[in-house]
Chain A
């Protein structure tokens, strides 16, 4: 009978895989990203072997198991149990990514758990913890103990505990090791919890940008808020060139929650609507005569739209809505794409406006700037008859880099 059920479940999984690589059943199915930043020619062979192996269906099935799929450490343990050291763990995850069962955000969050490295810190100077502080701290530990016994994800419990303590008292953050030991000595946490917390502390789990559970919740909300969000793929948001460490898509989910992403997307939605508007007018309402209506030229409309975007983004960044996080122009484009407001084929054009947003100096301009600065000083060293030529050259350079201001009576653009 068990054999029949297994056959049946395998059949179901295969039929799902044929539809959209089983992505419909995976909570981390890739609905937005193009080519993965993690897959390259070096790991491609083993990834293909895994995809064509019989174990792949079992790995896939783990992603749909609600008991483990929101906890990276549980997921890893379950995968390793099936894998039995046959394939590299990283390549198994990448095989799931290759079939769009995971996106790069989930890949990172699962792999960070597997790749965690011990971080040894210098011992902190001991600070006294009085009895009131001790009681507060132990209350958090008691709570964490209960959650661990309930079988909740250990890395999430650890991070919650750490941030609750840090929010309460700064010194709790510094004395975290001491607090774990104190909780154990006071019998607030048992032997097992002590080992788990001490172990996770070594890996600096609190430094992770986010956890799989948090991403899981974000995805669920996103599906709820934006039910018509289309499935489409773009390489632009998986490309790491825009950020130092993460792709635009990863950065978006690591730094912002669903509500914040929705707010950011609204800014780009306004920009799109303004670009598509038929006309924009400025009304001057006089007290003693008819209202004057000034219609903006097409390029004035364009520049006004950009200025309004800057303003709205500045308001958002200066509010408390983003919890102090700073959203850049690229972040709001990524947010627009994530929510389906921006289509995949519109991303590149919007991204190209970054040039207007943050104009960069050309190599020529940079060279001229340095030539002018150092050349000016160097002319002192040139003997008298030849110095004239050097001075002239500097003057020409000066003329090149000085952008003249428009004559006031010739400035025909309102914006």
Chain B
């Protein structure tokens, strides 16, 4: 009888018995990437990367990547499969998401360069091939007249490609540069020096020139000259000392895998149609939590300040940082991370998950996100009145 039950169970789940061990990229305890052997759980095939919850395929194929595929592709397949299961476990066990628990097997595409098309699934091969990133795509109905079958939610990982930093564009706006950051400082210095020089000069006319006044005037001239020199050579110096080539193998970065799965996990209430500050920030937050490291948040915080995204400094800050691609990565992530720390680390994951139900893809930060956090606090915080005051203070300190 026991044997029968066991047989039933094995056939029911179709899981393979032998553990499959493959090389994958993982983080060591110092958060450094390393290749290590990992066990792939919940596989339903013993010859390919197909599991109960994820099927890893190459490009537009629907066939799971075989264990006989070359090592480089296997490494990517194993890394994505391994980390996607970690991300799923987080949402099922820690967040207790029913939606994620009931998600059907999901197709994960590696090395796919096609642009996503809402009707045709894959845009034409020649249309603006994509590299160095990853994206989660929403399910589609397909298009029967063109023999395009329907598809479920998928995650696509682009191949990596070396790109010269000079060739990078930042959409409609100029990219962040050291020169731009120094612009205000340089103007202020010149203005203040010129004003002081004029005052010294007028004093000299009235009281006769003495050596101290000349010294002061020379000092102002010197400082203006030096500031101008630094300003004019800043971009050249930055280029000289910074890296020149940009390249990203997204399928080998655990946090990108967590980020994309988080999009899928939240997709029952936050649409995948387009990137906004709020949905990207939420995905970043959960990626950080699945990675169980504050490294991401810490680095994001530094980046936050560097690119002028310090809201308190209103002269440096632009509302643009709260929307569009500028806000994608860091601004909301920083806020959500701090909300978690403010209301208590014991409830933060569930809190942010519940908060995500109060916002949608098009939510604003200073209105909707702040309001959502306060609303969520009413039902989820240990001490709503106190924790709301803490949140108010935190938002106020951030200059929101």
* B-binding residues in A (CB < 8 A): 272, 275-276, 297-299, 302-303, 343, 345-346, 348-350, 352-353, 355-356, 379-380, 384, 387-388, 391-392, 395, 398-399, 403-407, 410-413
Is B385 interfacial (CB-CB < 8 Å)?
A: yes
For the complex, give the distance between the alpha carbons of A348 and B386 in Å. Answer: 8
Closest chain A CB from B339 CB (angstroms): 13
Partner of A399, one of B188, B219, B317: B188
What are 27 A-to-B residue pairs whose CB atoms are below 8 Å? A276-B385, A298-B366, A298-B367, A298-B371, A298-B374, A299-B366, A299-B395, A303-B396, A343-B385, A345-B386, A348-B386, A349-B386, A349-B387, A350-B389, A352-B393, A355-B393, A356-B393, A387-B215, A388-B223, A392-B227, A395-B223, A399-B185, A405-B314, A405-B315, A410-B318, A411-B314, A413-B366
For the complex, give the distance between the alpha carbons of A412 and B393 in Å. Answer: 19
Are B189's CB and A395's CB within 8 A?
yes
List the 10 closest A-B pairs by CB distance, nearest first.
A406-B314, A404-B315, A349-B386, A349-B389, A298-B370, A302-B392, A388-B222, A391-B223, A298-B371, A297-B367
Are A356's CB and B396's CB within 8 A?
yes
For the complex, give the distance between the alpha carbons of A356 and B396 in Å. Answer: 9
Closest chain A CB from B243 CB (angstroms): 27
Is B319 interfacial (CB-CB < 8 Å)?
A: yes
Are B215's CB and A384's CB within 8 A?
yes
With A343-B385, A356-B396, A387-B215 given, can you name 15 additional A-B contacts, CB distance below 8 Å?
A275-B388, A297-B370, A297-B371, A298-B395, A302-B392, A303-B396, A349-B387, A384-B218, A395-B223, A395-B227, A399-B185, A404-B313, A404-B316, A406-B314, A410-B317
For B370, the chain A residues whose CB sits under 8 A away are 297-299
Total interface residues on B, using CB and 8 Å? 37
Are B219's CB and A387's CB within 8 A?
yes
For A303, the chain B residues whose CB sits under 8 A away are 396
For A352, the chain B residues whose CB sits under 8 A away are 389-390, 393
For the complex, give the distance between the alpha carbons of A349 and B388 in Å. Answer: 9
Within 8 A of A (CB), among B323-377: 366-367, 370-371, 374
Q: A299-B392, A404-B313 are in contact. Are A388 and B386 (CB under 8 A)?
A: no
For the complex, give the distance between the alpha carbons of A203 and B374 in Å. Answer: 56
For A353, the chain B residues whose CB sits under 8 A away are 389, 393
Are A412's CB and B185's CB within 8 A?
no
For the complex, give the distance between the alpha carbons of A246 and B86 in Å. Answer: 57
For B318, the chain A residues whose CB sits under 8 A away are 410
Q: A297-B370, A303-B396, A411-B314 are in contact. Are A392 and B389 (CB under 8 A)?
A: no
Partner of A349, one of B215, B226, B385, B400: B385
For the complex, give the distance between the alpha carbons of A413 and B312 in Å. Answer: 12
Are A391's CB and B396's CB within 8 A?
no
Closest chain A CB from B400 CB (angstroms): 5
For B164, the chain A residues whose CB sits under 8 A away are none
For the complex, give the distance between the alpha carbons of A384 and B371 in Å. Answer: 57
Within 8 A of A (CB), among B195-215: 212, 215
For the complex, give the distance between the alpha carbons of A411 and B319 in Å. Answer: 9
Are B219's CB and A275's CB within 8 A?
no
For the complex, give the distance between the alpha carbons of A77 and B115 in Å. Answer: 93
Closest chain B CB from A348 CB (angstroms): 7
Closest chain A CB from B185 CB (angstroms): 6
